[in-house]
Amino acid sequence: MSYLSLQEYSRKWIFTHQSMPVPEQDLEMIKPMSAQRSAQFWKENISPQSPDAERLSSQDWPSKDANWSGEVDWMHNWEEDELGLPEEVLEHIDWQDDVTVYFCYEKYNVIETKWLIFKNNWKNFLFYDDGPILLARRRKQALWFNSEGKVKLGNR
């Protein structure tokens, strides 16, 4: 099987936490990949050898400065209830709402969803902010979040 049910997902609580519950219809669109499928996706799209963003090699595309055009603060928006993703992120990512996206925490932990679902629930995804990378199917733009409250805007 390529996906885990949300009930089986070890970080399920980030989507069901009482302070920021994700609407039921959105939960149905959040699909954690199995460890095997995550590893395959990571290998093909992030790094063939590095297990997480902290240990990327200089050969991996995220490690190359030329792939990143800027960096903006996301933490301020995350802390303010009424704010969505930073405007600079939305300007960089001009995807349609139904584009399939992959939120890559590390080699064995990738979540597939739609851009609209990510935009609406991005704060939940960033409960774990230790270097996740957001990619989309057949799109060059990428986002790389870090725990200092910054997100790199780039192209792969």
Judge whether 114 lies within some domain.
yes
* Residue 26 to residue 114: CA distance in whole angstroms: 9
Residue 7 has, within 13 A of its CA and on its CB side, a CA count of 0
In tens, the pLDDT along 104-129 reads: 999 999 999 999 999 999 999 999 99
Q: Which residues contact 84 (CB under 8 A, 6 or more apart)?
A: 77, 90, 119, 122
Judge whether 32 lies within some domain.
yes
pLDDT of residue 135: 97
pLDDT of residue 81: 84
Cβ–Cβ < 8 Å for 118, 31: no
Judge whether 83 lies within some domain.
yes
pLDDT of residue 67: 97
| pTM, rounded to two decimals | 0.95
Judge whether 7 lies within some domain.
no
DSSP symbol at 56: -
pLDDT of residue 137: 85
* Residue 35 to residue 9: CA distance in whole angstroms: 10
Q: Which residues of the chain have pLDDT under 50?
A: none
pLDDT of residue 1: 63
Terminal-residue alpha carbon distance, the chain: 28
Judge whether 8 lies within some domain.
no
Judge whether 3 lies within some domain.
no
Domain hosting 127: range is 13-155
Structural domain count of the chain = 1
Q: Exposed, middle or buried by CB within 10 Å (0-12, 13-18, 19+), for 102?
A: buried
In tens, the pLDDT along 125-147 reads: 999 998 999 999 899 999 999 99
Judge whether 116 lies within some domain.
yes
Question: What angle is formed at CA 9 by the lines to CA 110 and CA 86, rounded to 5 degrees?
Answer: 50
Judge whether 6 lies within some domain.
no
Cβ–Cβ < 8 Å for 86, 72: yes
